[in-house]
Structure 1
Amino acid sequence: MTDKRYELTRRKLLAGVGGVGLASAGAGLGTTAYLNDTESFEGNSLTAGALNMVVSVDVLDKSPGLPDPVVDSTDEDADDTADGNEITVTVDDVKPGDWFVLDWHVEIDGNPGYVQVTSVDEDYSNAEGDNPEAETDTSAPGDLGAALLTTIWGSTDTTAGSGRQQLQVLDETTDHNDTWLSGYETPDLDGVTAGGAHYTTLDEAHAEYLDGVVLSDPSGTPIEVGSVSDSADVHSYQLFELPPGVGNDVQGDSVTFTLRFDAEQVRNNDDPFSGA
């Protein structure tokens, strides 16, 4: 076996000591301490907001002699309230000159919301009924939807007497001439009044609400239902009237329609019901 000799010169020794010194300095950097503190916030939670709309309808008034319109709901505990349920309003034996007013009451709890009303196309129909008298047009659809006038009003004045005279502020959606008539006026057979308003028929109102109408004030600004600044709840009054001059063609006919109410939150919603 050959002996190996290792020479350790002064130069090599100093270099080795220097290497050890650098290694020690590196270890010192890893163990240096800084002042520190830790605080914690415990039990945090986020809760999603809620929005709940309830719609009810009542018969506000009707013409003398008209059988009481029947308001019924699929929920036995709330005969006139739609909270995820359907409401059916049935009126029988409507004759020329008859009228009635429905009070649609919309409430929103939890957060303010915008409300859109839509007439559901697939549920709208005019049925041609049996007529004991001769009529000029016996083909379907029936004639009642084209003869029955319907208008939406924003408020009532209980000091203005009784009946239709209490109605105030005609909504432009049911006025061909956009007059915003301040109070009810009796229309002629074509729905035209002395003040220049032109009431819509039920067929025309259905077409107007077919794509949805957002509840708005006279300036066109959507109403924030449930908001302190606007109103905690909203009442809209729908008048149905069959002009006295309507002839025999409407006898036996019936009309069926559905109104759907949709709500969307106000906050962070600059363009309600746009699908955005």
Structure 2
Amino acid sequence: MTGDRFELTRRKLLAGVGSVGLASAGAGLGTSALFSDTESFDDNSFTAGQLNMAVSVDIRNKSVELPDPAIESQLGPDDTADGNVVSITVSDLKPGDWFLLEWDPEVYFNSGHVQVTSVDEDYQNSEGDNPESETDTDAPGDLGDHLLTTVWGDFTPSGGIGDNRPGLHNLDPTTDNNDSGLSSYETPDVDGVTTSGAHYTTLNEAHEVYKTGVTVRDPTTGDPLVVGYDGDSATFYQLFELPIDVGNDVQGDSVTFTLRFDAEQARHNDNPFTSGA
């Protein structure tokens, strides 16, 4: 055996290595059916979102001798309407009296747009008893024609007892007949006109604007305001004032009205409170 030589050339070596590689590859192909893998997505659930609105109202200020306005709900004393009816009653209103309401609509769970409506079928002027002579004793009553009401964007009370109406800023154009852009409160005359030319609306005039619904808008862009849940506050202030020079015609008269607040989702809703929106 000493004369025998086992010759292993480079070519044969490479061929041998190649054979081993092919055998190894063949083993892999032959056993691939034994491997397996499973992925699953279980217990899938889709839930529709929610939108809820609650509206609070507070008496922020009033003239000194005006009896405190009363706020009541069907569930007892309350100042928040969340599916409940809340009523505000002001009695013994005299020339020179005024009071300021703060309205605060809040939208929960999703952001939304807010619309305010003076319900037409609930609006009523009533002629009351008057011991003094009047120039107009026919129904309806005259209070709605003389009681001024304006909507303001901001209020900074000065504190203490006194006239805080100068703390009102940014008159909303919906309650200014002249669309004057008045930035701060000015005392009106008996017709509701101020020194700068603003013309405050009477309650009757404001009702005519709001009875078809007014959407709360961004004061800068004019777009419908996005309220709640990563949105803005829709708080606004409503001033009622009876000019001091009003005569006897309003004695005993009363006016009743309903403000309704509606909310719609903001997402995918470029034209809120319109049909087909």
**1:108-131 deviation digits (Å, cap 9, x = unpaired):** 110000000000011100000001
Which of 220, 223, 242 is residue 222 of structure 2 equivalent to? 220
Structure 1 unaligned runs (5+)? 1-32
Report how far residue 83 of structure 1 moved.
0.4
- Aligned pairs for 1:51-200 (under 5 A) are 51-76=51-76, 79-158=78-157, 162-200=163-201
1:37 positional shift: 6.3
Runs of 4+ in 1 over 6 A off after TM superposition: none
Residues in 2 aligned to 1:172 and 1:63: alpha-carbon distance in whole angstroms: 25
Letter in 1 for 2:199: H
CA distance in 2, matches of 1:100, 1:163: 10
- Structure 1 residue 44, shift from structure 2 partner: 0.7
- C-alpha root-mean-square deviation of aligned residues, in Å? 1.7
Secondary structure in structure 2 of the residue aligned to 1:234:
coil
Q: Which moved more, 1:173-182 or 1:156-165?
A: 156-165
What is the TM-score when the length of structure 2 is the normalising length?
Answer: 0.83
Q: Secondary structure at the match of 2:83?
A: coil
- Write the distance in 2 (CA, Å) between the matches of 1:226 and 1:88: 24
CA distance in 1, matches of 2:157, 2:204: 30
> CA separation in 2, counterparts of 1:52 and 1:155?
25
The answer for the alignment partner of 1:9 in structure 2 is none
Aligned residue pairs total: 240
**Structure 2: stretches of 5+ with no match in the other structure:** 1-32
C-alpha distance in 2 between matches for 1:227 and 1:41: 30
Partners of 2:222 and 2:132 in 1: how far apart? 46
Distance 1:241 1:62 in 2: 9
Alpha-carbon distance in 1 for matches of 2:73, 2:179: 34
Give CA deviations for 1:251-274 in whole Å, capped at 9, x if unaligned: 000000000000000001111001
Partner SS state of residue 249, structure 2: helix
Cα contact 2:216–2:234 (8 A) shared by 1: no
What's the % identity of the aligned pairs?
63
How far apart are 1:159 and its partner, in Å? 5.0
In the other structure, the counterpart of 1:5 is none
Aligned-partner residue type, residue 56 of structure 2 = S
TM-score by length of 1: 0.83
